Chains A and B, each alone.
Chain A
């Protein structure tokens, strides 16, 4: 019977109900759109930011030696430090390891590159491209976990042409920065030689490598030749040594500083530096976006509450005789409340569903016009939009419902 009363009552007041539904739709649409944009764009913004490189760089602690006499300082020299390659995997032992996308160690050396048409000194960077690394868990050391990491994982956008070096024991392949390729007239498939002569003299080592890919980052890598770490170590006689480790942490709200501290305690002779400008910019933009989202949501919710309250109050005033009659034939305050709150729930549900649909399109528009990206809406937002809309509609009806509860049948039924 409640459904009959509800259905007919709503159908009879379609115009007013439509007004309330529209106000709920506004709120639900804004909430849906902003959550969709927030969820989708946050990920995309994070990915965009990560394109600029790793957000943590691990370097060895530098040993600085003062040079001069007592009281007279000429300056200082810094001894070249290294990180042991066998310690690199320990980065994945920090408590925030699930937030670490991957890492890549680097060993840099200046080498001479000779192609058929040119010869010049370039920086050779030995690194991991796509390497399987075993992580020994502190709590189950006998069951190591293998992960794949390297620059193809943390910086996949570096490769502009060709392929990554697929195997870590491939000594015959190299990736070449686009500036190097241009100056030395190198293309995919070309072979050139790299030679390393130790500082201070010694036997020169030479190796022929084939260009399998071109790298374009807009950074230093454009001027480098990238080879497997093992090759770089062998050529420079720095077996098991690396200079730096780049770490890519997925971080839209987690404390990167804490990552750094944990890495430093895990490998006690390194310093982990956050790429602070990058991280703070990332945080700042996302924080601003979330702040804006919260503000717009509150305004939209307030508009919804106002719309529903107005409609329900008008409804109670117009239906005072009906309420009085229902009370006179036995409806207690709970039944009267149930009737009006059910109406509010129906308004909230309809508004939530329509608002979700409108919100999906709104999200796409915002995504394309503001973030220049296509936003996909997660279906999980539908029950959320309905839930929030129903809650808002019901909350907005509390004052009108109290007014309905207070209707005195003796007064309204005699028309006073």
Chain B
């Protein structure tokens, strides 16, 4: 197996009750690559994303991220590794409802290291929300909430961004803006892994990995090297 920024080798995940969500998945993702993971509902793509983002641990197999083996780490060790290396973008945004857009971003700084309000404002301006800093999530549109979520993922400058259906809850216009933002982040050199069920969106990435029944069914590049 070649040494990409993320390597999964024979990753298997069996949930309590015997459900085999992943079955020996082996993938290798290069630095700066935008990889889309596709597959039908229940295929195991979100489980794979959770394992790659250190939110979950595989039952079997090995995951190496940026040269560090993360399988076997404790929950707190995984948390520490995640906050230093990975930014997460969620389909449901998962913003803290009683904190403003700015505070939601600052919260990620607080749990990472130190809070820098100016830096948090800059990141929000970078995603086009300079005028919405003091708004609560309930006062923002879906697209704006997703951009707050992206700003929160970016504020600690991770090298890897993992996104789970980032446009799943957005209309076409807002979805387009978010995808443009993700494209620009990739151009800055970040590695993007995005789970989507939308074939059109998946073609925006450099690579499409199809998961079916917990196994890699196909692994295609969307454009020639």
Q: Which residue of A lies closest to B76 (CB)?
A: A332
Query: Does chain A have a CB within 8 A of B112?
Result: yes
Q: A329-B152, A331-B111 are in contact. Are A410 and B99 (CB under 8 A)?
A: no
Q: Is B43 an interface residue when CB atoms closer than 8 A count as contact?
A: no
Contacts of A408 in B (CB 8 A): 55-56
**Does A326 belong to the interface (CB within 8 Å)?**
yes
Min CB–CB distance B146 → chain A (angstroms): 14
Q: When the two chains form their complex, are residues B75 and A326 in contact, meaning their CB atoms are under 8 A apart?
A: no
Q: Looking at the assembled complex, report how far the CB atom of A412 sits from the nearest CB atom of chain B, in whole angstroms.
A: 9
The interface stretch among A4-12, A160-168, A241-249 is A4-12
* A-side interface size class: 20 to 34
Closest residue of B by beta carbon distance from A10? B98
Q: A1-B106, A333-B75, A410-B56 are in contact. Are A326 and B111 (CB under 8 A)?
A: yes
Contact B88 A328 (CB under 8 A): yes
Determine if A50 is an interface residue (Cβ-Cβ < 8 Å): no
Residues of chain B at interface, number, CB under 8 A: 30
Contact between A329 and B92 (Cβ–Cβ < 8 Å)? no
Question: Majority SS of interface residues in chain A?
Answer: helix
Q: Is the CB of A328 within 8 A of B56?
A: no
Q: Assess the B96–A329 pair: CB atoms within 8 A.
A: no
Which residues on the A side are within 8 Å of B23 (C-beta)? none
Q: Chain B 105-125, CB within 8 Å of chain A: the 1/0 string?
A: 011111110010000000000
Which residues A313-331 have CB closer than 8 A to chain B? 321-322, 324-331
Contact of A1 among B56, B82, B115 (CB under 8 A): B115
Q: Which residue of A lies closest to B84 (CB)?
A: A330
Q: Is the CB of B111 within 8 A of A409?
A: no
State whether B80 touches A332 (Cβ < 8 A): yes
- Contact present for B99 and A413 (CB under 8 Å): no
In the assembly, what is the distance between CA of A40 and CA of B109, in Å? Answer: 53
A4 touches B99 (CB 8 A): yes
**Quick one: which of A1-24 are within 8 Å of B by CB?**
1-2, 4-5, 8-9, 11-12
Q: Which residue on chain B has the smallest CB distance to residue A7? A: B98
Inside 8 A of B97's CB, which chain A residues have their CB? 12
| Bound complex: CA A322 to CA B90 (Å) | 13
| Residue B144 is within 8 A (CB to CB) of chain A in the complex | no
Residue in A329, A333, A413 whose CB lies within 8 Å of B83:
A329
Question: Is the beta-carbon distance between A9 and B55 smaller than 8 angstroms?
Answer: no
Please give me the residue from chain A that is nearest to B117 by CB atom.
A1
Q: How far is the CB of A321 from chain B (nearest CB, A)?
A: 6
Residue of B with least CB distance to A326: B111
Check if A330 sits within 8 Å of B108, measured CB to CB.
yes
Given the interface contacts A1-B115, A410-B56, A415-B92, does A330 sit within 8 Å of B83 by beta carbon?
A: yes
Instruction: With A8-B99, A322-B96 as known contacts, state yes or no: A409 contacts B110, CB within 8 Å.
Output: no
A329 surroundings in chain B (CB, below 8 A): 83, 88, 107-108, 111-112, 152
Q: B106 touching A410 by the CB < 8 A rule? A: no
- B112:A328 contact, CB within 8 angstroms: no
Q: Does B174 contact A (CB under 8 A)?
A: no
Interface contact B94-A321, CB-CB below 8 Å: yes
Report yes or no: A330 in contact with B79, Cβ–Cβ below 8 A.
yes
Most central of A1, A11, A322, A333 by chain B CB within 10 Å: A1
B103 at the binding interface (Cβ < 8 Å): yes
Q: Name the residue on B nearest A327 (C-beta).
A: B79
Rounded to whole angstroms, the CA-CA distance of A329 and B107 in the bound complex is 8
Measured in the bound complex, the distance between the Cα atoms of B131 and A300 in whole Å is: 51
A414 located at the interface, meaning its Cβ lies under 8 Å from any Cβ of chain B in the complex: yes
CB neighbours of B90 from chain A (8 A): 413
Cα distance A321–B103 when bound, in Å? Answer: 17
CB of B107 to closest CB in A, whole Å: 7
A335 at the binding interface (Cβ < 8 Å)? yes
Against A, the Cβ 8 Å flags (1 = close, 0 = not) of B22-59 are: 00000000000000000000000010001001011000
* Smallest CB-CB A-B distances: 10 pairs: A330-B83, A1-B110, A330-B111, A410-B55, A410-B56, A410-B50, A329-B108, A12-B98, A331-B111, A8-B98
Question: CB within 8 Å of B: which residues of A?
Answer: 1-2, 4-5, 8-9, 11-12, 321-322, 324-335, 408-410, 413-415
Name 8 interchain pairs, CB-CB below 8 A, sorted by A: A1-B109, A1-B115, A9-B98, A329-B108, A330-B82, A330-B83, A410-B56, A413-B94
